[in-house]
A and B are shown apart, each in its own frame.
Chain A
Amino acid sequence: MSANTYVPDVNRRSKSSRAQARLAWLLITPTILVLTIVIILPVFQSLRQSLYGKAGLDPETGFVSDVEPFVGLDNYTAIFTDAGSRFWTAAWNTTLFGVVTVVLETILGVAMALIMHRAMRGRGFVRAAILVPWAIPTAVSAILWGWIFNQNGVANAILGQHIMWASGNATAKLAIIIADVWKTAPYIGLLTLAGLQVIPDEVYEAAKIDGANAWKRFTRITLPLVKPALVVAVLFRALDALRMFDLPYILIGPRKGSVETISMLVQDEASNLRYGSAAAYALILFLYVFIFAFAFTRITHADLGATAPRSGGRRGRRLPATVFLPRRSPSAVGASGAAEPTERSAS
């Protein structure tokens, strides 16, 4: 184990580093522009929209008014008072799906990655088979699972039961969780696989010589080394799961309290032309997801800082960062990843 050889050289403030900073800004400007147009402006527009109510009806002409009234924070207070029970149900569903599906997907995804990573006959076939669910669009897989969970569907046939999945509370949630895990575990598997592939074989060989069994190698080498990739995968999945819309909408249907998520509230309000209230829901969801993401990165980050130097896995984990740091010698990096950083630093 060749741990603790890397010492970060934080005191470099040379001319070249300032030039690099300028270059970095130059390179990042188009991204910032695009983000402003497609994200930051719409957010402020949503914020503005959420302060307006639904246009009224003129009883004389029977026509809907041209102007939407300014209602201040009424849309927000309504969410927590009049529409409170519906909102909290949706918030609970959102959280439940977010947490349960991601935990299950992570476990399954890592298992899939380990299987895909193994050198064996038919590996290409196994990889393709595992990735098929991820390749199917959510709407399509929702319809497929809708047939499976139909009262005359495959699920009931296999179980020998006559469960009415869609109209129950727990069964509807279960159906969503199963369908979502089936679809997106391969995604975590894929990203984890990418992480696995940069772990040098020598580490395992050394561990074997030291007498570490398979479980020890998994917990002490594989997991810590693959963690950076896994954390990103889990975060992405969690963000996606918190915004879940199409799967419950198609599989169970709109306005079903058993599976309604905050995204579905947004859609429902918008489709009934209450854009102000829809924007308010969307911003609450945004805030919720933002806080979640922030907390998640904080927590996993602290964890990384505590365990990584001891884990002996600096080298593999550092690889993505070295791509941006031309000054580092690539010699210490595993053979599989060495070529790319060298090329970049040369240019």
Chain B
Amino acid sequence: MASRLPRRRFIQGSAVVAALSAAAACSGGGSNSSGTSASAASTADFTGTGPITWVQGKDNSDGKVQERIDEWNELYPDEKVTLIELSAEADQQRQSLINNAQTQSDAYDVISIDNVWVAEFAANQWVVPLPEDDLKNDDIVESVWQTGLYMDRLYGMPFATDSSIMFYRKDFLEEAGVEVPTTWDEVKSAIDAVRALPGHEKIGGFGGQFAKYEGLTCCASEFINTAGGSFYDDEGNVTINSPEAIAGLQVLIDGFKDGYIPKEALEWKEEDGRNAFESGDLLFYRQWPYQYANNMAALGEEKFGVAALPTIEGKDFVPTLGGHNCGISAYSKNKATALKFVQWWTSQESEKYALETQTLAPILGSLYEDSEMLEQFPYLPTLRESLDSAKGRPKAVSYGDVTAAIQDALYPAVQQQVTAEEAISNLETALKALS
């Protein structure tokens, strides 16, 4: 039996090794977290010039971002900008940015942050407050500008905004002889009319991003906000449990129950729904404007159009405001160059470029009225209207917890496993526990 003992030890040793990597993985971040948020931010001085990096999510535009950066690099060869692309998934982008901040690395200089992260990044002093005088001008849409503020100071300079609009299949509506609907009831009767046509009996009605992820927070909030509900008041008190919020959520639930929102949408993110829309399985689609270019390429002008989202029971639709802002890392060595780059990156010329090449919604009001742009993008006035009525998501330092609570509470409701009342009351409990 002499051989047994060593083997057993070996096996147990391996067990420990295997098990511990999980424990070890998280302790690295933990040890740093206590010491991160020191000093840097409050006394931001924009000194230091030299090469910097611009960090954003995956560029889906076939190198258009790099082309724009190349132009900068030609202008300022001593202050070259390197593009760093992170994951396509927002959660992973945030994780990379946080990891970088917690190791106090100077690898990232100017970072693209989703506007719902501004509060978290500012409160942790991972980004520095920006000089408003150098960046503000009257042309910036006010609601968009507001997304960059935390405690009344600018931490994230918006460079692209986003607000939902309704994409629809023009060809199917024409076939059924229906006008573009402007109310929720008209949307439903348009769906009925198209379904009455041969070959379209099974077409999904009104799609959105209802998978359990950030998209659900955006889409479900729209129904709640449209009905007059709200998540928080201005003082940060939880106000979700109101008859209006329940009524709004009920409209969404009924949409699924009555078959006007396809149940497949419970698994849709932006791209899944787009596939359904483009392959003719969906009549209306609530979508962000950046998909305009893709749909145009796939369907062409005759087959799809863009309109404002419908009013629901007489109330104007309240879209959710999305968008991305530029932040300057607290650990950047060349903050003067970084600031100059932010100014350039959010200039009218850059905004126009981003709209033309990537259909990113610009932050500048004038571009929505620019005749040249209007010719290329006839949906701009619709988008502008949507932007003006859009509502931001809750500004919370721990936004990750807030959106998780919203998704946890509302997803079972859209799956029709709990009633609207129960879901809203669960959400109230969860949000109160967070504040």
Interface residues of A (CB under 8 A from B): 8-10, 35, 38-39, 42-43, 45-46, 49, 52, 55, 57, 61-68, 82, 150-152, 164, 166-167, 228, 231-232, 235-236, 239-240, 242-243, 245, 253-256, 263, 266-268, 270-273, 275-276, 278-279, 282-283, 285-286, 289-290, 293-294, 297, 301, 304-305, 318, 320-322, 324-325
Interface residues of B (CB under 8 A from A): 1-4, 6-8, 11-12, 14-31, 33-38, 41, 91, 94-95, 98, 122-125, 150-151, 211-213, 263-264, 266-267, 272, 275, 397-398, 400-401, 404, 407-408, 415, 433
Given A64-B125, A272-B404, 16 further pairs, Cβ under 8 A: A39-B17, A46-B23, A49-B27, A55-B34, A239-B15, A239-B19, A243-B18, A243-B22, A255-B407, A270-B26, A278-B30, A279-B23, A279-B27, A282-B23, A290-B15, A294-B15
Whether the pair A167, B23 counts as a contact (CB closer than 8 A) is no
With both beta carbons as reference points, the residue of chain B lying nearest to A269 in the complex is identified as: B26
Chain A residues within an 8 Å CB radius of B8 = 297, 301
Q: How far is the CA of A245 from the CA of B12 in the complex (A)?
A: 22
Q: How far is the CA of A61 from the CA of B122 in the complex (A)?
A: 11
Whether the pair B23, A283 counts as a contact (CB closer than 8 A) is yes
Partner of B213 from the list A253, A289, A325 (CB cut-off 8 Å) is A253
Chain A residues within an 8 Å CB radius of B7 = 228, 320-321
Least CB distance from B206 to A in Å reads: 17
Chain A residues within an 8 Å CB radius of B125 = 63-64
Whether the pair B212, A256 counts as a contact (CB closer than 8 A) is yes
Take A62-B122, A66-B34, A272-B401 as given contacts and tell me if A263 and B3 are in contact as well, using a CB distance cutoff of 8 Å: no
Whether the pair A164, B266 counts as a contact (CB closer than 8 A) is yes
Partner of B26 from the list A10, A46, A239 (CB cut-off 8 Å) is A46
Least CB distance from A340 to B in Å reads: 16
Least CB distance from A274 to B in Å reads: 9
Partner of B20 from the list A39, A231, A324 (CB cut-off 8 Å) is A39
16 pairs, CB–CB < 8 Å, chain A vs chain B? A39-B16, A39-B24, A43-B24, A49-B27, A64-B123, A66-B34, A166-B267, A167-B212, A236-B18, A275-B29, A275-B30, A279-B26, A294-B15, A297-B12, A304-B4, A318-B3
Chain B residues within an 8 Å CB radius of A231 = 11
Chain B residues within an 8 Å CB radius of A239 = 14-15, 18-19
Q: How far is the CA of A132 from the CA of B37 in the complex (A)?
A: 46
Q: How far is the CA of A48 from the CA of B98 in the complex (A)?
A: 22
Whether the pair B38, A66 counts as a contact (CB closer than 8 A) is yes
Q: How far is the CA of A68 from the CA of B29 in the complex (A)?
A: 13
Q: How far is the CA of A68 from the CA of B31 in the complex (A)?
A: 10
Whether the pair B17, A255 counts as a contact (CB closer than 8 A) is no
Whether the pair A49, B24 counts as a contact (CB closer than 8 A) is no
Least CB distance from A146 to B in Å reads: 11
Partner of B123 from the list A8, A42, A62, A266 (CB cut-off 8 Å) is A62
Whether the pair A62, B91 counts as a contact (CB closer than 8 A) is no
Take A235-B15, A236-B14, A321-B7 as given contacts and tell me if A263 and B20 are in contact as well, using a CB distance cutoff of 8 Å: no
Q: How far is the CA of A137 from the CA of B264 in the complex (A)?
A: 29
Take A243-B22, A297-B12 as given contacts and tell me if A57 and B123 are in contact as well, using a CB distance cutoff of 8 Å: yes
Chain A residues within an 8 Å CB radius of B35 = 66
Whether the pair B18, A278 counts as a contact (CB closer than 8 A) is no
Take A271-B95, A286-B19 as given contacts and tell me if A64 and B275 are in contact as well, using a CB distance cutoff of 8 Å: no
Q: How far is the CA of A215 from the CA of B149 in the complex (A)?
A: 74
Whether the pair B151, A275 counts as a contact (CB closer than 8 A) is no
Whether the pair A167, B415 counts as a contact (CB closer than 8 A) is yes
Q: How far is the CA of A285 from the CA of B95 in the complex (A)?
A: 23
Whether the pair B26, A275 counts as a contact (CB closer than 8 A) is yes
Whether the pair A46, B24 counts as a contact (CB closer than 8 A) is yes
Whether the pair B12, A286 counts as a contact (CB closer than 8 A) is no
Partner of A43 from the list B20, B91, B212 (CB cut-off 8 Å) is B20
Q: How far is the CA of A166 from the CA of B421 in the complex (A)?
A: 26
Least CB distance from A225 to B in Å reads: 15
With both beta carbons as reference points, the residue of chain A lying nearest to B408 in the complex is identified as: A255
Whether the pair A235, B19 counts as a contact (CB closer than 8 A) is no
Least CB distance from A97 to B in Å reads: 14
Chain B residues within an 8 Å CB radius of A8 = 1-3
Least CB distance from A173 to B in Å reads: 16
Of A35, A266, A273, A297, which is in contact with the most chain B CB atoms at under 10 Å from its CB? A273
Whether the pair A164, B267 counts as a contact (CB closer than 8 A) is yes
With both beta carbons as reference points, the residue of chain B lying nearest to A235 in the complex is identified as: B11
Whether the pair B19, A285 counts as a contact (CB closer than 8 A) is yes
Whether the pair A273, B19 counts as a contact (CB closer than 8 A) is no
Whether the pair B264, A151 counts as a contact (CB closer than 8 A) is yes
Chain A residues within an 8 Å CB radius of B98 = 271, 273
Q: How far is the CA of A194 from the CA of B1 in the complex (A)?
A: 23
Whether the pair A285, B408 counts as a contact (CB closer than 8 A) is no
Partner of B12 from the list A45, A62, A65, A293 (CB cut-off 8 Å) is A293
Least CB distance from B285 to A in Å reads: 16
Least CB distance from B374 to A in Å reads: 36
With both beta carbons as reference points, the residue of chain A lying nearest to B264 in the complex is identified as: A151
Of A66, A82, A164, which is in contact with the most chain B CB atoms at under 10 Å from its CB? A66
With both beta carbons as reference points, the residue of chain B lying nearest to A273 in the complex is identified as: B33
Least CB distance from B122 to A in Å reads: 7
Q: Which 8 residue pairs are nearest across A and B when measured between Cβ atoms?
A: A321-B3, A293-B15, A275-B30, A289-B19, A42-B24, A62-B151, A239-B18, A49-B30
Partner of B404 from the list A164, A255, A270 (CB cut-off 8 Å) is A255
Q: How far is the CA of A62 from the CA of B119 in the complex (A)?
A: 9
Least CB distance from A85 to B in Å reads: 11
Q: How far is the CA of A301 from the CA of B3 in the complex (A)?
A: 12
With both beta carbons as reference points, the residue of chain A lying nearest to B268 in the complex is identified as: A151
Least CB distance from A290 to B in Å reads: 6
Q: How far is the CA of A145 from the CA of B311 in the complex (A)?
A: 40
Q: How far is the CA of A150 from the CA of B213 in the complex (A)?
A: 16
Q: How far is the CA of A301 from the CA of B29 in the complex (A)?
A: 38
With both beta carbons as reference points, the residue of chain A lying nearest to B433 in the complex is identified as: A82
Chain A residues within an 8 Å CB radius of B3 = 8, 318, 321-322, 325
Q: How far is the CA of A240 from the CA of B3 in the complex (A)?
A: 26
Q: How far is the CA of A69 from the CA of B408 in the complex (A)?
A: 28
Chain B residues within an 8 Å CB radius of A322 = 3
With both beta carbons as reference points, the residue of chain B lying nearest to A166 in the complex is identified as: B267
Partner of A271 from the list B11, B12, B19, B91 (CB cut-off 8 Å) is B91
Least CB distance from B202 to A in Å reads: 11
Q: How far is the CA of A36 from the CA of B340 in the complex (A)?
A: 48
Whether the pair A294, B12 counts as a contact (CB closer than 8 A) is yes
